Amino acid sequence: MPEKETPGVPENENILSGTRRDFLKQSGFLTAVALTPIGIVKAAESHLDEKVAAFFEKMPLKMEVNGVSHQLSVEPRSTLLEVLREQLDLTGTKKGCDRGQCGACTVHVNGKRVNSCLSLAITNNNKTITTIEGLADGDELHPMQQAFIDHDGFQCGYCTSGQIMSAVACIHEGHAGSETEIREFMSGNICRCGAYPNIVNAIQEVSKGGNKA
């Protein structure tokens, strides 16, 4: 797997070196809880309130995204959606409502579809993420991408990456048995342009093609 260096890593490289590691070892309480590393350690060293020191620290995050392993440094409050778009420049995943209400931000985490706007990036440490950019095989579109084109499964296209990620998962889960089932299990993806009938047709074609994608 290719390893990609991302700017911002070095500051976190020495988290567990020297006295810091000893400090973590010594504290019985901390052995059971992995706290915000640098902040806590710095705070303990300088007798600061741990909360104050920990607030503005970034934390190391390792994720595999579309087959590429990334070492990142993120604020605890960054969502997976923000990190994908703003740190990894994977802008195919869209921010619609930012509140779990539209599905535009749908990606796969360890093979399951989730709303990346409600997932803190830091909770995805060591997980495998697939975004719309990771579906195609080189120049060859994923069958679901092709089906969306063939069936006119979009107008403005804003919801489309979320729709496609969701559609691929819908078939995987075995929830594409009938039009009714597809509609129910695609209901987490809103399309303001109302491309629904064509989206359902696209999914049915891929599903009937026996393409488990």
Partner 1 sequence: MNQFQYNKANEPHSAVKLVAKDPDAHFLAGGTNLIDLMKMGVVNPTKLVDINHLPFSKIEKLPHGLRIGALVSNSDVADSELVKAGFPLLSQAINAGASPQLRNMATVGGNLMQRTRCPYFFDTTLPCNKRKPGSGCGALEGINRMHAIFGASDQCIAVNPSDMNVAMRALNATVHVSGPKGARGIPIADFHRLPGEQPELDNTLKNGELITAVELPYSAFNKNLSYLKIRDRTSYAFALVSAAVALHLEGETIKEARLAMGGVAHKPWRLSAAEEFLKGKMVSEGNFRQAAQIAMKGAKAYQYNQFKLKLAPNTLIQSLRIASGIAAS
Residues that bind ligand FES (CB under 6 A): 95-98, 100-105, 115, 117, 154-160, 191-193, 195
Residue 95 binds which entry of ligand FES, partner 1, ligand FAD, none, CB below 5-8 Å type-dependent: ligand FES
Distance between CA atoms of residues 136 and 179, nearest Å? 26
Residue 168 binds which entry of ligand FAD, ligand FES, partner 1, none, CB below 5-8 Å type-dependent: none
Residue 193 binds which entry of partner 1, ligand FAD, ligand FES, none, CB below 5-8 Å type-dependent: ligand FES
Residues binding partner 1 (CB under 8 A): 29, 32-36, 39, 50-51, 54-56, 59, 75-77, 79, 98-100, 103, 106, 112-115, 118-120, 122-123, 166, 169-170, 173, 175, 183-185, 187-190
Distance between CA atoms of residues 42 and 23, nearest Å? 11
What is the token pair recorded at 113? Answer: 């579809």
Single out the residue of 159, 162, 161, 143 nearest to residue 195, CA to CA: 159
Residue 59 binds which entry of ligand FES, ligand FAD, partner 1, none, CB below 5-8 Å type-dependent: partner 1
Exposed/middle/buried for residue 207 (C-beta within 10 Å: 0-12, 13-18, 19+): buried
CB of 128 to ligand FES, least distance (A): 20
Rounding to the nearest 10 degrees, give the CA dihedral for residues 132, 137, 143, 144: 0
The only residue of 6, 14, 69, 101 in contact with ligand FAD, by rule CB under 6 A: 101
What is the token pair recorded at 179? Answer: 């039009």
Distance between CA atoms of residues 55 and 33, nearest Å? 17
What are the residues binding ligand FAD (CB under 6 A)?
Answer: 100-101
